[in-house]
Amino acid sequence: MAEITLEEVRQDPRVKTFIQKANDYLGVLGYTEHGFRHTGLVAREARNILNELDFDQREGELAAIAGYLHDIGNVSGRKGHCQAGALIALDILQSLGMPMYEVAEVISAIGNHDEEDGCVISRVAAALILADKSDVHRSRVRNTDFSTFDIHDRVNYAVESSCLHVNENRVISLELDIDTGISHVMEYFEIFLSRMVMCRRAASYLDARFALVINGAQLL
Protein backbone atom coordinates (compact mmCIF):
# COMPACT_ATOMS: atom_id res chain seq x y z
CA MET A 1 0.00 0.00 0.00
CA ALA A 2 1.13 3.54 -0.76
CA GLU A 3 2.25 6.18 1.74
CA ILE A 4 -0.60 8.65 1.57
CA THR A 5 0.46 12.27 1.98
CA LEU A 6 -1.27 15.29 3.41
CA GLU A 7 -1.45 16.84 -0.06
CA GLU A 8 -3.38 13.83 -1.39
CA VAL A 9 -5.82 14.13 1.49
CA ARG A 10 -6.20 17.88 0.94
CA GLN A 11 -7.09 17.37 -2.72
CA ASP A 12 -9.77 14.75 -2.07
CA PRO A 13 -13.15 16.27 -3.05
CA ARG A 14 -14.89 14.64 -0.06
CA VAL A 15 -12.45 16.29 2.33
CA LYS A 16 -12.89 19.69 0.70
CA THR A 17 -16.68 19.47 0.82
CA PHE A 18 -16.95 18.13 4.37
CA ILE A 19 -14.55 20.69 5.86
CA GLN A 20 -16.31 23.56 4.08
CA LYS A 21 -19.78 22.38 5.09
CA ALA A 22 -18.70 21.63 8.67
CA ASN A 23 -17.35 25.16 9.01
CA ASP A 24 -20.54 26.61 7.51
CA TYR A 25 -22.73 24.68 9.94
CA LEU A 26 -20.65 25.75 12.96
CA GLY A 27 -20.96 29.34 11.79
CA VAL A 28 -24.75 29.03 11.91
CA LEU A 29 -24.44 27.71 15.47
CA GLY A 30 -22.26 30.67 16.48
CA TYR A 31 -18.89 28.92 16.74
CA THR A 32 -15.58 30.44 15.78
CA GLU A 33 -13.88 29.56 12.47
CA HIS A 34 -13.10 25.86 11.95
CA GLY A 35 -12.40 25.96 8.21
CA PHE A 36 -9.42 25.54 5.93
CA ARG A 37 -7.32 28.15 7.76
CA HIS A 38 -7.73 26.25 11.04
CA THR A 39 -7.24 22.78 9.59
CA GLY A 40 -4.19 23.88 7.61
CA LEU A 41 -2.59 25.51 10.64
CA VAL A 42 -3.25 22.50 12.88
CA ALA A 43 -1.80 20.15 10.26
CA ARG A 44 1.34 22.27 9.90
CA GLU A 45 1.88 22.67 13.65
CA ALA A 46 1.25 19.00 14.43
CA ARG A 47 3.86 17.91 11.90
CA ASN A 48 6.31 20.54 13.11
CA ILE A 49 6.02 19.44 16.74
CA LEU A 50 7.02 15.85 15.99
CA ASN A 51 9.71 16.90 13.53
CA GLU A 52 11.26 19.38 15.96
CA LEU A 53 11.30 16.72 18.68
CA ASP A 54 13.11 14.34 16.28
CA PHE A 55 10.40 11.74 15.93
CA ASP A 56 9.97 9.73 12.74
CA GLN A 57 9.17 11.82 9.64
CA ARG A 58 6.33 9.52 8.64
CA GLU A 59 4.78 9.93 12.07
CA GLY A 60 4.92 13.67 11.50
CA GLU A 61 3.04 13.24 8.22
CA LEU A 62 0.36 11.17 9.95
CA ALA A 63 0.03 13.90 12.57
CA ALA A 64 -0.43 16.44 9.76
CA ILE A 65 -3.15 14.30 8.18
CA ALA A 66 -4.89 13.89 11.53
CA GLY A 67 -4.62 17.64 12.04
CA TYR A 68 -6.18 18.40 8.70
CA LEU A 69 -9.07 15.97 9.24
CA HIS A 70 -9.63 16.41 12.98
CA ASP A 71 -12.75 18.60 12.75
CA ILE A 72 -14.34 16.95 9.72
CA GLY A 73 -16.94 15.32 11.99
CA ASN A 74 -18.55 18.70 12.60
CA VAL A 75 -20.33 18.11 9.30
CA SER A 76 -22.74 15.83 11.20
CA GLY A 77 -23.05 17.99 14.34
CA ARG A 78 -20.89 19.41 17.10
CA LYS A 79 -21.75 16.84 19.75
CA GLY A 80 -19.67 13.72 19.20
CA HIS A 81 -17.77 15.35 16.33
CA CYS A 82 -14.51 13.60 17.29
CA GLN A 83 -15.95 10.10 16.95
CA ALA A 84 -17.93 11.05 13.83
CA GLY A 85 -14.77 12.53 12.34
CA ALA A 86 -12.81 9.35 13.06
CA LEU A 87 -15.40 7.29 11.18
CA ILE A 88 -15.47 9.68 8.22
CA ALA A 89 -11.65 9.69 8.10
CA LEU A 90 -11.62 5.88 8.27
CA ASP A 91 -13.70 5.64 5.11
CA ILE A 92 -11.71 8.28 3.23
CA LEU A 93 -8.25 7.00 4.17
CA GLN A 94 -9.16 3.39 3.44
CA SER A 95 -10.41 4.35 -0.02
CA LEU A 96 -7.16 6.24 -0.67
CA GLY A 97 -5.21 3.06 0.08
CA MET A 98 -3.57 3.98 3.39
CA PRO A 99 -2.31 0.93 5.35
CA MET A 100 -4.69 0.04 8.17
CA TYR A 101 -2.10 0.47 10.91
CA GLU A 102 -1.61 4.06 9.76
CA VAL A 103 -5.36 4.58 9.48
CA ALA A 104 -5.62 3.41 13.08
CA GLU A 105 -3.03 6.01 14.18
CA VAL A 106 -4.90 8.83 12.46
CA ILE A 107 -8.45 7.98 13.49
CA SER A 108 -7.52 7.26 17.12
CA ALA A 109 -5.92 10.72 17.32
CA ILE A 110 -9.00 12.35 15.77
CA GLY A 111 -11.30 10.49 18.14
CA ASN A 112 -9.33 11.66 21.18
CA HIS A 113 -8.58 15.32 20.50
CA ASP A 114 -11.42 16.90 22.51
CA GLU A 115 -10.66 18.02 26.05
CA GLU A 116 -14.03 16.84 27.40
CA ASP A 117 -13.59 13.13 26.73
CA GLY A 118 -10.32 12.68 24.83
CA CYS A 119 -7.08 11.11 26.02
CA VAL A 120 -3.44 11.36 24.97
CA ILE A 121 -3.03 7.87 23.55
CA SER A 122 -0.17 8.27 21.05
CA ARG A 123 2.45 10.70 19.76
CA VAL A 124 0.20 11.54 16.80
CA ALA A 125 -2.65 12.32 19.20
CA ALA A 126 -0.36 14.40 21.42
CA ALA A 127 0.83 16.50 18.49
CA LEU A 128 -2.73 17.01 17.27
CA ILE A 129 -3.92 18.13 20.71
CA LEU A 130 -1.11 20.66 21.10
CA ALA A 131 -1.61 22.05 17.61
CA ASP A 132 -5.40 22.28 17.89
CA LYS A 133 -5.59 23.83 21.35
CA SER A 134 -2.98 26.47 20.50
CA ASP A 135 -5.05 28.03 17.72
CA VAL A 136 -6.55 31.03 19.46
CA HIS A 137 -6.59 34.32 17.52
CA ARG A 138 -8.89 37.15 16.54
CA SER A 139 -8.99 35.90 12.95
CA ARG A 140 -11.20 33.02 14.16
CA VAL A 141 -13.99 35.36 15.28
CA ARG A 142 -16.84 35.54 12.77
CA ASN A 143 -19.16 37.80 14.72
CA THR A 144 -18.76 41.38 13.47
CA ASP A 145 -20.87 42.98 16.22
CA PHE A 146 -18.60 43.55 19.20
CA SER A 147 -21.59 44.36 21.42
CA THR A 148 -22.88 40.79 21.06
CA PHE A 149 -19.56 38.97 21.65
CA ASP A 150 -19.76 36.02 24.00
CA ILE A 151 -16.72 35.06 26.08
CA HIS A 152 -15.27 32.86 23.31
CA ASP A 153 -15.52 35.68 20.78
CA ARG A 154 -14.04 38.15 23.24
CA VAL A 155 -11.09 35.99 24.27
CA ASN A 156 -10.21 35.03 20.70
CA TYR A 157 -10.58 38.59 19.47
CA ALA A 158 -8.30 39.84 22.23
CA VAL A 159 -5.43 37.62 21.04
CA GLU A 160 -3.40 39.77 18.65
CA SER A 161 -0.70 37.16 18.01
CA SER A 162 -0.28 33.48 18.76
CA CYS A 163 2.87 31.38 18.22
CA LEU A 164 3.73 27.80 19.11
CA HIS A 165 7.45 27.14 19.53
CA VAL A 166 9.52 24.03 20.25
CA ASN A 167 12.96 24.82 21.62
CA GLU A 168 16.14 22.79 21.98
CA ASN A 169 15.29 21.93 25.60
CA ARG A 170 12.09 20.17 24.51
CA VAL A 171 9.86 22.96 25.76
CA ILE A 172 6.71 23.50 23.72
CA SER A 173 5.62 27.05 24.41
CA LEU A 174 2.42 28.79 23.40
CA GLU A 175 3.13 32.52 23.29
CA LEU A 176 0.16 34.90 23.18
CA ASP A 177 -0.16 38.66 23.00
CA ILE A 178 -3.52 39.60 24.51
CA ASP A 179 -5.18 43.01 24.48
CA THR A 180 -6.36 43.12 28.09
CA GLY A 181 -8.58 46.07 27.23
CA ILE A 182 -10.77 43.59 25.34
CA SER A 183 -10.47 40.53 27.57
CA HIS A 184 -8.77 39.93 30.89
CA VAL A 185 -6.21 37.12 31.06
CA MET A 186 -8.41 35.42 33.66
CA GLU A 187 -11.12 35.01 31.00
CA TYR A 188 -8.65 33.06 28.90
CA PHE A 189 -8.19 30.59 31.74
CA GLU A 190 -11.93 30.50 32.38
CA ILE A 191 -12.59 28.89 29.00
CA PHE A 192 -9.23 27.34 28.12
CA LEU A 193 -7.89 25.88 31.38
CA SER A 194 -8.98 22.33 30.54
CA ARG A 195 -7.31 22.69 27.13
CA MET A 196 -4.06 23.85 28.70
CA VAL A 197 -4.12 20.91 31.13
CA MET A 198 -4.55 18.59 28.13
CA CYS A 199 -1.64 20.31 26.38
CA ARG A 200 0.56 19.72 29.42
CA ARG A 201 -0.32 16.02 29.35
CA ALA A 202 0.32 15.86 25.61
CA ALA A 203 3.74 17.48 25.98
CA SER A 204 4.63 15.09 28.78
CA TYR A 205 3.72 12.13 26.54
CA LEU A 206 6.25 13.46 24.05
CA ASP A 207 8.92 13.70 26.78
CA ALA A 208 8.64 17.47 26.60
CA ARG A 209 7.24 20.30 28.72
CA PHE A 210 4.41 22.70 27.93
CA ALA A 211 4.70 26.40 28.72
CA LEU A 212 2.14 29.18 28.36
CA VAL A 213 3.45 32.71 27.92
CA ILE A 214 0.99 35.62 27.87
CA ASN A 215 2.20 39.15 27.22
CA GLY A 216 5.76 38.08 27.97
CA ALA A 217 4.99 36.45 31.33
CA GLN A 218 5.21 32.68 31.72
CA LEU A 219 2.04 31.49 33.46
CA LEU A 220 2.42 27.70 33.06
* CATH 1.10.3210 fits domain 6-218: yes
Please give the chain's pLDDT, 220 residues, in tens: 679 999 999 999 999 999 999 999 999 998 999 999 999 999 999 999 999 999 999 999 999 999 999 999 999 999 999 999 999 999 999 999 999 999 999 999 999 998 888 899 999 999 999 999 999 989 999 988 888 999 989 999 999 999 999 999 999 999 999 999 999 999 999 889 999 999 999 999 999 999 999 999 888 7
Q: Which amino acid is at 62?
A: L
Output phi, psi for 114, to 5 deg: -85, 140
Handedness of CA 165, 114, 40, 48 (dihedral sign): positive
